[in-house]
Amino acid sequence: MENIVNKKVCGWKNLEREKKDGIFSFCDKYMDFLDEAKTEREAVKLIIGKLKNEGFVSILEKDTLVEGDKVYYNNRDKSVFASIIGKDEPTCGVNIIGAHIDSPRLDLKPNPMYEDGRLALFKTHYYGGIKKYQWTAIPLAIHGVVVKSNGERQEICIGEDSQDPIFTITDLLPHLSQNQNTKKLSEAIDGESLNLLIGSIPDEKNDSIKENILNILYEKYGILEIDFYSSELEIVPAFKARSLGFDRSMVASYGQDDRVCAYALLESLLESEESSVTKVAIFADKEEIGSVGNTGMCSESFDYFMNKILNLKNINYAGALNEVYCHSKMLSADVGAGVDPNYQDVSEKNNASFIGYGVELNKYTGSRGKSGASDANAEFVAYVRGVFEKNDIQYQVSELGKVDIGGGGTIAYILANKGVDVIDCGVPVISMHSPYEVTSKYDIYSAYLGYKAFFESSEKVKY
Ligand code: MN
Ligand code: MN
């Protein structure tokens, strides 16, 4: 008897002990990844380290490509493309899964350091869609690089070790908040007041706190004030990823959008069985600010990588790359919005994702009348459903929120514009873009299984 009614059940229900243990140990490693990779640069380092361990080599070192070859391309230490070459010609289509490894945060301005109110501070410029009030009065760490004009690169990570100092952005005491309390939430904290507190001891000779801090920076890292011009220093929450709930069923952490999908993708690529179709993984930068720049997916650096694959396989005719794209399939591995019990009114519950109910498919994104949407074709949705159902992977199909309440997009449309069949497929998140995002371990593991099955699938979409 077919299931006439689409009954949605919690993934944890009737789960065998062994499977549950597997999910929990997978997520223990995921939480380590979150703690080690709080920026796109750190994620690239970890991802390439793991790829190399599994036999991947830089595509720039290859002069030919054959079935079974494993290659990657490091795009300026901020994004990575990786591929396992299949038996079939890439022009028959490849299986792509793409996640992003940048997350909302605060960047330091190029002239960050100043002294005011007898304290030393750093000016910041926020990156991505943050709610500014969430970034005050929490412990913050500084991650990134400072590059000297001679090209020397100094990596910085302060605030993660328990012996390290941390930093914070102060907030107004309630006793004196009468004016602030009357402001709109979006205006209560000003972008220019997101200043990071970094020191308070004046220099013995000239009384300058700023100079005292500069002395410390010079002694410890050899950095001069002018070197901030050529730095990328990111302010991120200093707390660690933790299991959430008495039942430990969830993960709370900074940066799960979209490193949760990036991690599931990396593991799925490494664990996937051999298949005839070439597998391609994208770990993109700059998604949170519109996929712009030469490390974002709007850049042609991905075409460069795909063209390299074609060239190394001696497929050099004009239009070969279009041939690849127009026959390819892709999961845009990005997070969705899980229903938040505290804010249920933004979700239309028949078409919302619930955390713990499996990996989420978003047929389309966009806002208002599907403006800016990447809308997957029914035939392709059917294909992906088929892959998941055959492999017993629990999934849910949803929208971001109620119609006309807001909206959003991912990298899906960029590949769809090239001719690829694309659907958004990821993990539902609660408190998205906050310093402490919440996911379900069940969904994380379902995403991993879903990505793996998609990579291994070799059928054609039936049009
Ligand atoms: Mn995202
Ligand atoms: Mn995002």
Calculate how far, in angstroms, residue 378's C-alpha sits from the geometric centre of ligand 1. 23
Q: What is the pLDDT of residue 289?
A: 97
Among the bound ligands, the one closest to the CA of 127: 2
Q: What is the pLDDT of residue 409?
A: 86
Secondary structure string (H, E, C) spanning 444-455: HHHHHHHHHHHH
Among the bound ligands, the one closest to the CA of 334: 1
How far apart (Å, rounded) are the C-alpha atoms in residues 96 and 159?
Answer: 36
Q: How far is CA 393 from the centre of its chain?
A: 22
CA atoms within 13 A on the CB side of 125: 9
Calculate how far, in angstroms, residue 129's C-alpha sits from the geometric centre of ligand 1. 11
Topology agreement, domain 17-103+254-456 and domain 105-237: no
The residue-averaged pLDDT of 88-96 equals 98
- My answer on whether omega of the bond before 227 falls inside 30° of 0, hence cis, is no
Calculate how far, in angstroms, residue 125's C-alpha sits from the geometric centre of ligand 1. 20
DSSP helix/strand/coil, 12 = coil
- Whether 1 has a pLDDT exceeding 70, the answer reads no
Calculate how far, in angstroms, residue 293's C-alpha sits from the geometric centre of ligand 1. 17
How far apart (Å, rounded) are the C-alpha atoms in residues 262 and 426?
Answer: 10
Strands across the sheet containing 231-237: 153-158, 140-147, 231-237, 105-116, 119-127, 196-199
CATH 1.10.10.10 fits 105-237, yes or no: no
Calculate how far, in angstroms, residue 304's C-alpha sits from the geometric centre of ligand 1. 24
Least Cα distance to 139 among 435, 420, 411, 371 occurs for 435
Q: Kindly report the pTM of this predicted structure.
A: 0.97
Calculate how far, in angstroms, residue 39's C-alpha sits from the geometric centre of ligand 1. 14
Q: What is the pLDDT of residue 196?
A: 98
Contacts of residue 382, defined as CB under 8 A and 6 or more positions apart, other chains included, come to: 462
Calculate how far, in angstroms, residue 124's C-alpha sits from the geometric centre of ligand 2. 20
Least Cα distance to 449 among 150, 111, 26, 117 occurs for 26
Calculated CA dihedral for residues 177, 180, 181, 186, nearest 10 degrees = -150
Across all residues in the chain, what is the average pLDDT?
97
Name 96's bridge partners: 280, 330
Calculate how far, in angstroms, residue 296's C-alpha sits from the geometric centre of ligand 2. 14
Among the bound ligands, the one closest to the CA of 101: 1
How far apart (Å, rounded) are the C-alpha atoms in residues 18 and 36?
Answer: 28
Q: What is the pLDDT of residue 268?
A: 98
Reported as a pLDDT band with limits 50, 70 and 90, residue 407 is confident
The residue-averaged pLDDT of 329-347 equals 97
What does the domain layout of the chain look like in residue ranges? 17-103+254-456, 105-237
- Whether 3 has a pLDDT exceeding 70, the answer reads yes
Calculate how far, in angstroms, residue 144's C-alpha sits from the geometric centre of ligand 2. 20
Q: What is the pLDDT of residue 288?
A: 97
Q: What value, to the nearest 5°, has the Cα angle with vertex 407 and ends 406 and 412?
A: 175
Reported as a pLDDT band with limits 50, 70 and 90, residue 406 is confident
Calculate how far, in angstroms, residue 335's C-alpha sits from the geometric centre of ligand 2. 8
Q: What is the pLDDT of residue 18?
A: 97
Q: What is the pLDDT of residue 112?
A: 98
Calculate how far, in angstroms, residue 104's C-alpha sits from the geometric centre of ligand 1. 9
Q: How many residues does the chain have?
A: 463
The residue-averaged pLDDT of 302-308 equals 98
Domain 17-103+254-456 homologous superfamily, CATH: Zn peptidases (3.40.630.10)
Cβ proximity of 209 and 201 under 8 Å: yes
Cβ proximity of 461 and 402 under 8 Å: no
Instruction: Note residues around ion ligand 1 (Cβ under 5 angstroms).
Output: 257-258, 334
**pLDDT per position as a tens digit, 350-397:** 999 999 999 999 999 889 999 988 999 999 999 999 999 999 999 999
Calculate how far, in angstroms, residue 218's C-alpha sits from the geometric centre of ligand 1. 37
Helices (H) and strands (E) in the chain, counts: 11, 22
**pLDDT per position as a tens digit, 202-231:** 999 999 999 999 999 999 999 999 999 999
pLDDT > 90 fraction of the chain, expressed in percent and rounded: 95
Least Cα distance to 335 among 243, 453, 437, 414 occurs for 437
DSSP helix/strand/coil, 88 = coil
Least Cα distance to 453 among 284, 321, 327, 267 occurs for 267
Least Cα distance to 405 among 432, 372, 366, 363 occurs for 366
**pLDDT per position as a tens digit, 151-205:** 999 999 999 999 999 999 999 999 999 999 999 999 999 999 999 999 999 999 9
Calculate how far, in angstroms, residue 256's C-alpha sits from the geometric centre of ligand 2. 9
DSSP helix/strand/coil, 104 = coil
Calculate how far, in angstroms, residue 332's C-alpha sits from the geometric centre of ligand 1. 10
